[in-house]
């Protein structure tokens, strides 16, 4: 019983307590007093999240989806967390999804290419007012990522959908050198996450890649890797 943390469950427990009189955490008491059919069953709340990659030549890392009740995974103008840096530089969302503020999470199982759509489902019990955040790296870049930051799901009833677009952010943790060995995506196969920070050290909207075709002779990127906003189309459907 002490695991119930949501208003619905708490209210139900309070009513039980009132009906049944004194109640304690003692197991013997519970056996005597609680009738099985009165125990509230957890109710699953599930969101199907689909992300379509709208770029020409930027595969995206497996999408990470987090449900949380507070906080933001990043703030423009603020230094990126180490967990965000790992995702934005190397495409690994596991540390970000393991943050203590995350109540439930889901991840895609593979990168998805230009034009492709990746869908994951995230489920939480008894909570209908979660915030949803989403992240994915544009892997043919130094530290570009796209996503949603703490979208409020409280008004989304079962069966409802939310759709929107997202642009590209720059984690500000790795200089956009575009040089060989610095980009983890298939164009380079270089280093992903590197804890050293050699850029502005704040999150901003991404200025775009320059590419060798636009005068950056040291870039391994070509015109094909350029992108503009928005970079993804997102559909969130509450399925239950």
Partner 1 sequence: MKKLSKLLTMSAAGLMAMGAQAADLEIKITNLTQGVYFTPFIIAAHSDDANMYQVGMAASTELQAIAEGGDISGMSTLLTGISADIVENPAEGMLAPGASTETMLMSADTNTVLSLVSMLLPTNDGFVGLDSWSIPSEAGTYTMYLKAYDAGTEANDEIVNDGGAPGTPGIPKDPGMKNGTGAMGVTDMEETQVVHIHRGVIGDTDDMGGYSDLDSTAHRWLNPVAKITITVN
Cβ contact 172:142 at 8 Å: no
Using the contact rule CB under 8 A, the part of the chain among 3-11, 107-115, 185-193, 201-209 near partner 1 is 201-209
Q: Which of 123, 229, 235, 239 binds partner 1 (CB under 8 A)?
A: 229
Instruction: List the interface residues with partner 1, window 103-162 (CB under 8 A).
Output: none
**207 touches partner 1 (CB under 8 A):** yes
Measured from the CB atom, the residue of 13 and 175 that comes closer to partner 1 is 175
Per CB under 8 A, 200 contacts partner 1:
yes
Query: Cβ 118 to partner 1, closest distance in Å?
Result: 23
**Which of 21, 36, 77, 159 is in the footprint of partner 1 by CB under 8 A?**
77
How far apart are CB 40 and partner 1 at their closest, in Å? Answer: 35
Name the phi and psi angles at 105, rounded to 5. -150, 165
What are the beta bridge partners of residue 48? Answer: 121, 237
Work out the number of other CB atoms within 10 angstroms of the CB of residue 50: 18
Q: What is the number of alpha carbons within 13 Å of residue 236 lying toward its C-beta? A: 26
* Per-position DSSP letters for 62-119, written without gaps between them: PPEEEEESS--S--BTSPPPHHHHHHHHH---HHHHTSTTEEEEEE-SS-B-TT-EEE
Task: Give the interface segment with partner 1, choosing from 9-17, 47-55, 112-120, 204-212 (CB under 8 A).
Answer: 204-212
The Cβ-side half-sphere exposure at 138, using a 13 Å CA radius, reads 36
Which residues are near partner 1 by CB under 8 A?
76-78, 167-168, 170, 172, 175-178, 200, 202-208, 210, 214-218, 228-229
């Amino acid at each position: 019983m002490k695991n119930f943390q949501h208003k619905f469950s708490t209210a139900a427990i309070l009513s039980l307590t009132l009906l049944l009189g004194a109640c304690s955490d003692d197991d013997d008491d519970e056996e005597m007093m609680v009738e099985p059919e009165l125990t509230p069953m957890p109710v699953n709340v599930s969101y199907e999240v689909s992300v379509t990659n709208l770029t020409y030549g930027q595969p995206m890392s497996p999408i990470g989806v987090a449900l949380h009740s507070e906080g933001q995974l990043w703030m423009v103008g603020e230094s990126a967390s180490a967990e965000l840096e790992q995702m934005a530089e190397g495409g690994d969302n596991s540390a970000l999804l393991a943050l203590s503020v995350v109540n439930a999470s889901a991840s895609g199982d593979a990168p998805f290419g230009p034009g492709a759509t990746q869908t994951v489902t995230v489920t939480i019990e008894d909570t209908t007012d979660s915030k949803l955040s989403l992240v994915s790296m544009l892997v043919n870049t130094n530290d570009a990522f796209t996503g949603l930051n703490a979208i409020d799901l409280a008004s989304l009833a079962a069966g409802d959908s939310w759709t929107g677009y997202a642009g590209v952010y720059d984690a500000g943790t790795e200089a956009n050198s575009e040089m060989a060995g610095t980009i983890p995506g298939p164009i380079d196969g270089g280093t992903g996450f590197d804890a050293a920070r050699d850029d502005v050290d704040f999150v901003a909207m991404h200025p775009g890649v320059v590419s060798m075709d636009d005068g950056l002779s040291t870039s391994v990127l070509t015109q094909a890797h350029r992108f503009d906003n928005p970079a993804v189309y997102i559909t969130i459907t509450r399925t239950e």
